[in-house]
Structure 1
């Protein structure tokens, strides 16, 4: 099939350590500037090399013209500028779009950056209305009329509904879901910047933690925090001259089917399958060829569905699969070796970018104590909304 030819590579990454109580209150433009500096330094490139800027839609200083505002502040001239609004899938989507633009000849070096400012809003700004802002319940929306008045607010209820339906159709135990959280916490213990780097947990800890929305316990749900990340994607020719092992983007796919869980076509078969199928076909690789699975994990049930719909195991077998495999960086199926968002931390819209940066660090042999003995290929999946917006990318080291 037509698609990426592996002519664009990730050359550098940068990430703020996720934190619940930031030591420095960055304004958005300050944060993006620092992330750009760090990522370019990591790659051995300079701001003069940059000719494309891709970001999310949550810049405090501008509700419109977001790329232009960042471009102006950085002092670059961009030949390709993009805002991506795919929630947790935005990180993978930025990288995919940058690779596409580079291969088409629209630009040569792209900065892909995401940052969350949720923990230092303007004190004069109105309080966050999560039912409206996260739930999409603005006047006139289906959510405002048919969901929010009945208590269907935010994501947890939606993922709990998915977990319950999955258990009804295929069988799923609390212990199987908990295994995901426990193994990822083990990975976080080896990451010096993870929010939960000093707090091991057991299956019993997960099952005894407070029930938030049945059947999901608090230790099965992401830890919101503050943070940000940046990725430098550049041409194959320029990547060969940078400091780190080039990480080529060799496959990608995207699929969006709905906004609200109410309109989800099928609770147990997600849009991930169509996105990942395209990525696999484009790359020529198969699940058995992958050394690292870096899968979006806002909830434990998200991981289980992703394992199935990306082809790492058959439909209905994810519970058995996680019990039969060691998902830690020491194990036979390394997954989310940074701890995932469940234990590394979820920095808002930037949370999904941690799956990209971790995959790059592993492929470049720079993951420290959690480094895999062999890592030449990685599969990354980003998930937005309530299992609704999906982006899969496949990365391969030079």
Structure 2
């Protein structure tokens, strides 16, 4: 958006002055003044009861409008000071944003506009967005707005705050100067209820047109149930309800001793799941779980490893195609070519499915399964002579 096109700059300034003087003449009746009075009045601001400024683009389409119930215009300084300003920004000749504040200062006949006190920039349309702050610096010629006092952006279920915010009007891009904090509610934004997720990061950007959002790290996400997630950086899309977490990614469960380490991971807010095709490992009090690809279902408190599941503990290890662990109930399920080997006895159990549970000390005990399980026992060499007399081969059940 451009207020003063270089070809129209001169005529636009004349229009500014004409509006200011014309409005003030309605109040002062434009009485004739002496030369000394005119000289003193040059530095005296004109006061007019209403201000109505409109700007069009070179092609004739509407650019922006600004109104105020009371304003002062200083012809020497080419400055307008207005109270309770309200305006509309246009995009492709259609209303795009509504803007309001307590005070406005327009410098150099519109080259710079400063809005102060409860500044509100509200996007119109089916996906409303509210940008707020205490001070907004608008450079119409550059189509940029900078909020450098308490900036925030709110939509239906999220709120972003940062040290300062830059709005690039032409591209619809919001640039956040960190630290940046994203708060998210499961349903709708509430000023009285705490958010379910709070993500902190460094500098970030959010495109209001495409929904693409990104931020540099370190990234820390905290949930109200005590879970914590960290990542190197994030990139996602707010319209599609996901954020991609860049490796290394670490997920801290409610229990302090349970930590999941993973590669690039997608956080699907709509399903409330973490998904990845990268290798993953989970550190437990007594052992480790690792594999390739996983799904963490947050509402159900489950970690499912999609391929090459491997569970290791001091006295046993298990291999399977996939496995699932519910950290709330401490239940473990392994499926697909399950192979359980006990280190002390050398006993090996095989089956298509096995279920287990965690003991209070962190060890795993496997429960009897309805599926057929084959057990193989290997005897030590000292006992092999006696065993060969009783059986020509290994004992199989």
Q: Same fold (TM over 0.5)?
A: no
Structure with the higher fraction of residues in helix conformation? 1
Could you state the TM-score of these two structures normalised by the residue count of structure 1? 0.19
* Structure showing greater Rg: 2
